[in-house]
Amino acid sequence: MMSTLHSLRSSASRLLNDRGGNFAMVSAILLPIMLGAGALAIDITNTAMAKHQLQEASDSAALATASALADGKVTTSTAADFAKDFIAGQMANVLSDTTGLKGSTTVNATKTTTGTATSYSVSVSSSYSMQLSGLAQVIGFKTTTIGAASQTASGYSETQGSVSMFLALDKSGSMGDPTSTVNAEQPTKTTQYTYTETYTYDCGTKRNPKTCTGTRQATGTKTETNYYTKIEALKLAVGSLTNQLETADPTHIYARTGAVSYDINQYPASPLAWGSSAVSSYVNALSANGGTNSSDAVNTAYTSLTAKNSAGNDSEDAIHYDKTKQVPKKYIVFMTDGDNNATSYDTATKKTCDAAKAKSIEIYTVAFMAPSNGQALLKYCATDSSHYFAAESMADLVAAFKKIGAKAANQTTRLTN
């Protein structure tokens, strides 16, 4: 009996002292834990990614809904359905079934009227349950809730705030050149011309016949394709800009516009005034002639936007504030189709552009079939690359002015969360 007990103790002692299989034993014990921890790390990463995706979708839904309200595309009673459909569409590539997400999304759209301005605020809150795997389920967590919330600042239903815009437009001789666009209303034109006609006649006698040659003036007509001239294209393009402002501000309480034209000289300007009818009349009366010097005209646009009133305050700011209680956003639209006739004109123009930018005036520039030097000047004066337009055709010119008008008229909606 004693011998058997001793043998068991010896065997146990040898087993405890033998470490040859420890690594395999420890690995066998830790491997499930390591695999579980790896799965838990993947769950944590997936959860963070899912929350980011939902937050982006929530932000986009809130912004889109506020914009739709401001544009009159939805009402406060239908805004919730619009936002839910929007966020479901954004998450369709993430979730195979967005029914639960739409059901758990809450939307609050409010409308506020102050004086003549109507504003909207939209909040969106969304959540859904995400299935977990690995160690998370082993320790009792089968799902986790992914949630996000977004809120927008109010956007005005008039789709724009106060705006003061001054146009500096080239009317030099090259603006009388034809574009490549046929005049749709009058595709052909007939012109009358005078030419010299040569003829022969009998100037001799029967005994001495002779033929003489003479010339005489004659008139004729010819029919040819009628292309828009550059100045005609400019008039249509400015019309596309003013239409944007008129649509956004039909009662003329937010937008003030002015215009000045130039060739080698500056011409009397159409001063800043409510609405855009005066500018439209001014531009439609322009005719092409002369050389090119943009410096005085751009300076007139700048000084008009920054003029002081009798009290020494910014005149445009005061005029807008009296009517809307808003400080206006100020714009210069500078257009040319050529080069200035002297480098000193470029230097003076650039100096004015620098001064305008320093006072946060946004400068849009449009190079209409302009040579490289003209393009370089306009690129310099533009607020940034997105404010510069290279128009190589009439269609480009109209599109550029329309886009400028749309940007000036648009009231951006921003996130506040």
DSSP string, 62-122: HHHHHHHHHTTSS-TTTHHHHHHHHHHHHTTTT-S--HHHHHT-EEEEEEEEETTEEEEEE
pLDDT band, very low/low/confident/very high, at 329 (cuts 50, 70, 90): very high
**Tokens describing residue 240:** 């596309």
8 Å CB contact between 163 and 67: no
Task: Answer yes or no: is pLDDT of 335 > 90.
Answer: yes
**Is the pLDDT score of 139 beyond 60?**
no
Over pLDDT 90: what percentage of the chain? 44
Per-residue pLDDT band at 220 (split at 50, 70, 90): confident
Least confident piece of the model among 43-52, 93-102, 256-265 = 43-52
pLDDT at 75 over 60: yes
Average pLDDT score over residue span 98-118: 79
Whether the model clears a pTM of 0.85, i.e. scores above it, the answer is no
Closest CA to 120 of 78, 77, 67, 81: 67
Instruction: State which of 15-19, 143-147, 293-297 shows the largest mean pLDDT.
Output: 293-297
Looking at 3.40.640.10, 3.40.50.410, 3.40.47.10, 3.90.550.10, the CATH number of the domain 163-179+229-409 comes to 3.40.50.410
pLDDT of residue 413: 45
Residue 344: pLDDT band with limits 50, 70, 90: very high
Each residue's pLDDT tens digit, 173-208: 999 999 998 887 888 878 888 888 888 888 888 888
156 pLDDT higher than 50: no
- Concatenated DSSP letters of 328-392: PEEEEEEEESS--SSHHHHHHHHHHHHHHHHTT-EEEEEEES--HHHHHHHHHHSSSGGGEEEE-
List the domain boundaries for the chain: 26-156, 163-179+229-409, 191-225
